[in-house]
């Protein structure tokens, strides 16, 4: 049995070729939900859905977001209506009182659907409508995710990091904003001053996640701050990792990040934006897999390979290096 921690695109890309190394029937994926948002009344779980769509063979791998070949008729019409009515486009946060009132599933992360700032495809939207409706019917997010995984015929087990809402908020020199506003709307432009995982102090690890964390864990090359950080902020999560073998794949080659805003976010919260900084952020990791060109000297076992992942063959190569590292520390 093995458990992958997934957020952003790093770990899903690794999973794209991991089946040749790790038996999918014995693989669990715990997905970040810190960057979830409620948009127009529907709960959007981007990191859960990336794993869901990739495992279901429908992910748009050009963007690593949404469903391949999806139409956007509803999104287009939302923007046309807003323009015709003279309404300002998003992000449009709901009033402060509405951020915590009503559903518990989406506290501190509620946006109006007027001229929505995240493009949601029509098939993609059907997933969010189904998810939100099942939650309203009384299912937990874990139960809903299992239902959706069955609908997409996933080979691995997929779990949200918690059934409780955690919101990743980015404190910038232009004010505080949700991660999706910072990343999707502002394209990581504002300077980061700090990162907050609001709600993490009240969130709990589910029994399913606790069981998964008892198995050897792989932290893929995801963003340490906003993909893995929300999980570590939940009480007991990091402690569980300290008690089980953990191998992490660095998303850096020394001080060069493969993609995304990880460098700015790490620097913003006080870590060196580098492989050395990732090791500092992951004191629970027993070993690391680094790129062959990464000469960083760490205080833990290190395996090296070409860690760039551009397709399933690359992913399988990195997964084999991960398996070798796990064998060394297990």
Provide the annotated binding site. 49
Spell out the residues 6+ positions from residue 75 whose beta carbon is closer than 8 angstroms to its own.
116, 119, 120, 121, 122
**Burial of 211 by CB count in 10 Å (0-12 exposed, 13-18 middle, 19+ buried)?**
middle
Q: What is the DSSP letter of 89?
A: P
| Closest to 227 (Cα-Cα) out of 256, 255, 272, 260 | 260
Helices (H), the chain: 10-15, 46-55, 73-85, 96-100, 122-136, 141-151, 179-180, 207-212, 229-232, 237-242, 262-268, 275-281, 312-329
Q: What is the DSSP letter of 182?
A: I
Residue 185 to residue 39: CA distance in whole angstroms: 14
Per-residue buried b or exposed e for 128-165, using 16+ beta carbons within 10 Å of the residue's own CB? beebbebbeeebbbbebbbebbeebebebbbbbbbbbb
Residues forming beta bridges with residue 39, ordered by sequence position: 42, 111
Residue 67 to residue 51: CA distance in whole angstroms: 12
Residues forming beta bridges with residue 169, ordered by sequence position: 178, 196
Residue 142 to residue 136: CA distance in whole angstroms: 14
């Amino acid at each position: 049995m093995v458990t992958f921690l997934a957020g952003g695109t790093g770990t899903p890309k690794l999973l794209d070729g991991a089946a040749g190394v790790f038996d999918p029937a014995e693989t669990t994926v715990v997905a970040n939900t810190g960057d979830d948002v409620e948009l127009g009344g529907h709960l959007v779980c981007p990191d859960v859905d990336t794993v869901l769509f990739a495992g279901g063979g429908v992910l748009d791998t050009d963007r690593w977001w949404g469903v391949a070949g999806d139409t956007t008729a509803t999104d287009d019409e939302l923007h046309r209506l807003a323009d015709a009515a003279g309404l300002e486009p998003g992000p449009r946060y709901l009033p402060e009182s509405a951020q915590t009132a009503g559903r518990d599933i989406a506290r501190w992360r509620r946006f109006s659907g007027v001229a929505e700032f995240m493009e949601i495809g029509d098939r993609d939207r059907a997933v969010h409508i189904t998810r939100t409706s099942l939650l309203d019917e009384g299912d937990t997010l874990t139960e809903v995710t299992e239902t959706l995984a069955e609908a997409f015929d996933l080979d691995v087990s997929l779990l949200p990091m918690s059934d409780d809402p955690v919101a990743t908020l980015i404190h910038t020199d232009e004010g505080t904003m949700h991660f999706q506003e910072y990343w999707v709307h502002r394209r990581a432009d504002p300077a980061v001053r700090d990162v907050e995982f609001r709600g993490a102090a009240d969130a709990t690890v589910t029994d399913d996640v606790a069981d998964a964390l008892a198995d050897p864990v792989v932290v893929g090359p995801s963003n340490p701050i906003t993909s893995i950080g929300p999980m570590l902020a939940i009480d007991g999560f990091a402690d569980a990792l300290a008690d089980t073998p953990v191998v992490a794949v660095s998303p850096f080659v020394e001080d060069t990040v493969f993609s995304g805003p990880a460098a700015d976010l790490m620097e913003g919260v006080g870590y060196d934006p580098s492989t050395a900084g990732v090791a500092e952020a992951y004191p629970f990791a027993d070993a690391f897999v680094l790129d062959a060109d990464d000469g960083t000297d760490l205080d833990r076992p290190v395996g090296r390979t070409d860690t760039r992942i551009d397709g399933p063959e690359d992913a399988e190569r990195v997964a084999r290096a991960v398996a070798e590292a796990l064998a060394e520390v297990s």
